[in-house]
Structure 1
Amino acid sequence: MTKINVALLFGGGPPGPLGHDMSVEFARSVYEALDRKQYNPILVAVASDGNWWLQENTNGFPLRPGSSSAQLILLPAGRGKALVHRHDENNSTCNVDVAFPISPYACTGLLEIARVPFVGSRLPAPAICGDKQILKRILRDAGLPIARSLVLTTKEEVKFQFAQEALGSPSLFVKPATLYNSMGVSKVTCETEFEAAVDLAFRYDSKVLVEEYVQARELECAVLPDIDQPSKLLCSWPSEIIPDEHAFYTAQAKLDEKGVVLKTKAELDDAEADRVRSLSCEAFRVIGCEAMARVDFFMRPNAELLINEVGVYPALGPSSAFPRMMKESGIPYKVLIQRLLEDAIKRSERAKIPMT
């Protein structure tokens, strides 16, 4: 049987444990889960400057991926044909049958231009979910529940008291609009904290969201389409994030094993769980997601639900929320990885069918 060449794309984004390093660790888990009888992994480290470095001559997953002597360059409309460019000009070609981007900074547009099957949603879903303001507008216009928010494009646009009154909330959250993993997010209760939080958020982004503080439980759902019937969605039982030593699910809490508890099966009655699942599927369809998504919620004490975020590239380490919810739904980690690859190939095959 001819093996399928899988390009694992990892790295990219900002350095540090919540950026590049996390992507590398997730890639290592996917690499180890691949069935070597069926798949041949091609390891590609994406540098912070955007270059793709082919990791050659490795006995397993590279411990310290980075620049190498060869760059991988996918050819536009090449359907997987790629140039391997070497400094000594001893260039060659290879073929990528399917790509597996493992990063919030996934190269979705480039993969679409190259016409390579890939794991994850096609545009515009990743772009929509990558901008919290745009995501909230689309969800709101579709009639789905979200928290109230304001958008800042300059530091001086809004004062703390005005934001409090406009959002009907004594405490507020300030966050960069396009960053992930809670980086640059602050909870504020006074003018001084607000100004510092806005300054911090603008260091990361040119657009900042100010949101009402929602006293609520934090829930998540994992959504996975059927490979043969994409309109049929598998939605997990919701999980719950319970901050312990942190005021909310901060970037630091995501690095602190003792700072947060992830309860894979949240304590909800069937009706509550069904409402979370139903809204998860609605959000998935409204955004135009494919392949997979994690939908995050707030549940107020009166059981009112608000959609917080939709992630089309959820963390894919074995102990991450999405794989854990899928395992609880009867899909173990290795099966999940296999299914995501099969889905990517099937979607590509359907896209080639001519319209009549």
Structure 2
Amino acid sequence: MTRINVALVFGGGPPGPLGHDMSVEFARSVYEALDRKQHSPILVAVAPDGKWWLQENTNGFPLGPGSSSAQLILLPGGRGKALLHRCNENDSTCNVDVVFPISPYYCTGLLEIAQVPFVGSRSPAPAICGDKQIVKRILRDAGLPIARSLTLTTKEALKFQFVQEALGSRSLFVKPASLYNSIGVSKVTCEAEFEAAVDLAFRYDSKVLVEEYVQARELECAVLPDTEQPSKLLCSWPSEVIPDEHTFYTAQAKLDEKGVVLKTKAELDEAEADRVRSLSCEAFRVIGCEAMARVDFFMRPNAELLINEVGVSPALGPSSAFPRMMKECGIPYNVLVQRLLEDAIKRAERAKNPIT
């Protein structure tokens, strides 16, 4: 039986537990879940400068590029053929059958140019979901419910009182438009806090989103297409994020085991859960997602639902929300990894042989 060469691309992004380190840990989990009878892993570490380095020492799990590593370069249109470049040796090639990207710097465009199968959505869904303003605009224009928000492109664009009145909210959230893991997000209640929060957000991004504060439960739903019938979506029972010591689901809360509780099966009645599932599937289709997505919601005390975010590259550690919700659906972690790889290969085959 010929084994499939699976390139795990990990690392890159900002240093620290919510960037590079988290990517490495998720990649380690996927690496350990691969069935060695079917898959031959190729470990590729993304350096801070964006270069891809082959990890040739697979004794254990490497954490980053070594001094003797080869730089790996996927060839445009090569359908997985990659160049291995070493500074003091002749170049060689290898073949990648499918890529499993687990990097904060999502590499959809590069993988599409290389024409290699990969886990995750093709363009434009990753770009859409990478910008909170754009994804909200698309959801709104499709008639799906979202929280009210305004966009800043300069620090002096709006004053706190004006934004309060415009959004009908005394408290506000300020966040960079294109960052993840709640980095740079602040909750503000006065002018001084607002100005400081805007300054912080602009350190990370050139566009800043200001949203109304929504008193609500925070729900999440996992969506996974059928590998044979992509239009058929499996949608999990919603989970609930319950902040404990933190006022909201901050970046610090995601690192603090006591800071947040993830209730894999939220206490909802069947009708409420079905509404969350239905909206999750609608959002998945409207954005043009493939492979998988996690859809985040606010549920007000009156049971009104608002879509907060759509993530096409959810965290994939075994204890992360998406795998836990899939496990609740009867798909354990190793089966989920296998299913994502199968889906990537089948989508690539369909793209090569479209129905005419």
The TM-score range, normalised by the shorter chain, is: over 0.9
Q: Does 2:183 align with 1:177?
A: no
Secondary structure of the 2:249 match is coil
Q: How does 1:1-356 map to 2 (within 5 A)?
A: 1-62=1-62, 64-68=63-67, 69-356=69-356
Unaligned runs of 5+ in 2: none
Q: 2:98, 2:116 within 8 Å by CA — same for their partners in 1?
A: yes
Secondary structure of the 2:100 match is strand
Letter in 1 for 2:8: L
Q: 2:171, 2:213 within 8 Å by CA — same for their partners in 1?
A: yes
Displacement of 1:355 in angstroms is 5.0
Secondary structure of the 1:18 match is coil
Q: TM-score, normalised by structure 1?
A: 0.99
Secondary structure of the 2:192 match is helix
Displacement of 1:223 in angstroms is 0.2
Letter in 2 for 1:66: P
Rounded Cα–Cα distance in structure 2 between residues aligned with 1:237 and 1:326:
9
Q: 1:47, 1:67 within 8 Å by CA — same for their partners in 2?
A: no
Letter in 2 for 1:65: G
Q: 1:128, 1:135 within 8 Å by CA — same for their partners in 2?
A: yes
Deviates more, 1:104-113 or 1:340-349: 104-113
Unaligned runs of 5+ in 1: none
Q: TM-score, normalised by structure 2?
A: 0.99
Q: 2:11, 2:104 within 8 Å by CA — same for their partners in 1?
A: no
Q: 2:184, 2:200 within 8 Å by CA — same for their partners in 1?
A: yes
Displacement of 1:90 in angstroms is 2.3
Letter in 1 for 2:307: I
Displacement of 1:275 in angstroms is 0.1
Q: 2:164, 2:171 within 8 Å by CA — same for their partners in 1?
A: yes
Displacement of 1:67 in angstroms is 4.4
RMSD of equivalent CA atoms: 0.8
Letter in 1 for 2:221: C
Aligned length: 355
Q: Provide, for residues 120-175 of structure 1, a one-character-per-residue CA deviation record: whole Å limited to 9, x for no partner.
A: 00000000000000000000000000000000000000000000000000000000
Displacement of 1:103 in angstroms is 2.3
Rounded Cα–Cα distance in structure 2 between residues aligned with 1:76 and 1:278:
39
Q: 2:11, 2:24 within 8 Å by CA — same for their partners in 1?
A: yes
Secondary structure of the 1:100 match is strand
Rounded Cα–Cα distance in structure 2 between residues aligned with 1:174 and 1:330:
38
Q: 1:119, 1:341 within 8 Å by CA — same for their partners in 2?
A: yes
Q: Provide, for residues 256-281 of structure 1, a one-character-per-residue CA deviation record: whole Å limited to 9, x for no partner.
A: 00110000000000000000000000
Q: 1:101, 1:107 within 8 Å by CA — same for their partners in 2?
A: yes
- Change in Cα spacing, 1:131 to 1:98, as seen in structure 2 (3 Å) is same
Rounded Cα–Cα distance in structure 2 between residues aligned with 1:243 and 1:249:
6
Q: 2:236, 2:329 within 8 Å by CA — same for their partners in 1?
A: yes
Displacement of 1:89 in angstroms is 2.8
Q: 1:104, 1:313 within 8 Å by CA — same for their partners in 2?
A: no
**Runs of 4+ residues deviating >6 angstroms:** none
Displacement of 1:74 in angstroms is 0.3
Q: 2:47, 2:64 within 8 Å by CA — same for their partners in 1?
A: no
Displacement of 1:285 in angstroms is 0.2
Displacement of 1:12 in angstroms is 1.1
Displacement of 1:354 in angstroms is 4.5
Secondary structure of the 1:198 match is helix
Displacement of 1:309 in angstroms is 0.3
